[in-house]
């Protein structure tokens, strides 16, 4: 740890400890793990180091977010009691961003409510490719004094590199255009964007645009894989065109239920994800993406 980082510490939770430690190393910060005890009734006890420096970065990805949010409330409040004057949340995956409006009367607008909760708890938020749709700016979703949304597309482009011969990138829906085009442009690759109709959580149809897919190495790019149905449907649409191979590249590997098995069964030859969520498909580390943002915060 360098002298200018003496008043700064990165805290991680056991569920994301390995990536949090990599991040601490990349940012030149000391690391400590927050201890979590789950009582038999489901309540959580969190324990932080006894004394904290002025600036504390709590790193936790908010997949499976319900218990994690309560534990973040406990950890952020306790950080201040233990001496931190500024507390940041580094959430490589930020949950609850998709429900940005009430689709039916009476529904909670989760993005706004969870965003306000985090903004009240933390002085800063750093995240990666949050799923923002109708609300476009992270600071509108999480109105903390400082909120920054980084992108994983450079790291994904670098990882893709020349692994495949003249690949063709394909986004499964309109929203994916931003990521697929960024990766394609960096590597000067052909890309296309499909259209998607979603009828329910697990009911998705993807229609491909006209292109010559035969024999090509296709890389399907999306921000989130949750049920896997979007990518599964895209693979099903591609198969009759006899592509040379199908690789899936995603930022946030939620992989709910049997999603991973479904994609393998559908014919995905390879699946690569970033480590925004710890998962067996992780190939692309985000420490180098996140570390400069941490280093630049609060004038280290």
Q: Between 79 and 233, whose beta carbon lies closer to ligand R5P?
A: 233
Say what angle helices 229-238 and 259-266 make with each other, to 10 degrees.
Answer: 0
Q: Between 58 and 114, whose beta carbon lies closer to ligand R5P?
A: 114
Q: Between 226 and 273, whose beta carbon lies closer to ligand R5P?
A: 226
Q: How far is the CB of 198 from ligand R5P (least distance, A)?
A: 7
Residues of this chain that interact with ligand R5P (CB under 6 A) are: 172-173, 175-176, 204, 222-230
Contacts of 10 (CB under 8 A, 6+ apart): 20, 23, 24, 27, 29, 30, 31, 32, 56, 57, 58, 59, 90, 294
Q: How far is the CB of 204 from ligand R5P (least distance, A)?
A: 5
User: Helix, strand, or coil here: 128?
Assistant: strand
Q: Find the angle CA(263)-CA(155)-CA(31) to the nearest 5 degrees.
A: 100
The encoded tokens of residue 256 equal 């709910």
Q: How far is the CB of 260 from ligand R5P (least distance, A)?
A: 11
Q: How far is the CB of 95 from ligand R5P (least distance, A)?
A: 12
Q: How far is the CB of 171 from ligand R5P (least distance, A)?
A: 9
Contacts of 16 (CB under 8 A, 6+ apart): 59, 60, 61, 278
Q: Between 123 and 223, whose beta carbon lies closer to ligand R5P?
A: 223
Q: Between 96 and 122, whose beta carbon lies closer to ligand R5P?
A: 96
């Amino acid at each position: 740890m360098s002298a200018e980082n003496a008043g700064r510490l990165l805290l991680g939770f056991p569920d994301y400890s390995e990536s949090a430690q990599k991040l601490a190393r990349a940012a030149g910060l000391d690391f400590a793990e927050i201890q979590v005890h789950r009582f038999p009734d489901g309540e959580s006890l969190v324990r932080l180091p006894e004394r904290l420096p002025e600036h504390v970065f709590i790193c936790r990805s908010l997949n499976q977010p319900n218990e994690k949010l309560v534990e973040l409330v406990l950890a952020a409040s306790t950080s201040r009691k233990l001496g931190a004057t500024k507390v940041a949340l580094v959430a490589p995956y930020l949950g609850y961003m998709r429900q940005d409006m009430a689709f039916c009367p009476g529904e909670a607008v989760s993005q706004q409510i969870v965003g306000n909760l985090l903004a009240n708890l933390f002085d800063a938020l750093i995240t990666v490719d949050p799923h923002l749709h109708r609300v476009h700016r992270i600071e509108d979703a999480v109105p903390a004094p400082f909120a920054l949304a980084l992108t994983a597309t450079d790291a994904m482009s670098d990882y893709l590199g020349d692994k495949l011969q003249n690949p063709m990138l394909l986004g499964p829906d309109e929203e994916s255009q931003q990521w697929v085009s960024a990766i394609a442009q960096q590597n000067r690759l052909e890309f296309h964007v499909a259209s998607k109709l979603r009828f329910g959580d697990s009911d998705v149809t993807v229609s491909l645009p006209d292109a010559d897919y035969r024999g090509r190495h296709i890389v399907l790019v999306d921000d989130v894989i949750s049920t896997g149905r979007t990518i599964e449907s895209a693979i099903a649409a591609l198969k009759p065109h006899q592509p040379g191979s199908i690789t899936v590249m995603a930022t946030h590997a939620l992989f709910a239920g049997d999603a991973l098995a479904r994609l393998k069964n559908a014919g995905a030859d390879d699946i690569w994800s970033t480590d925004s969520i710890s998962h067996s498909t992780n190939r692309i580390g985000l420490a180098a993406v996140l570390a400069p943002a941490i280093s630049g915060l609060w004038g280290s």
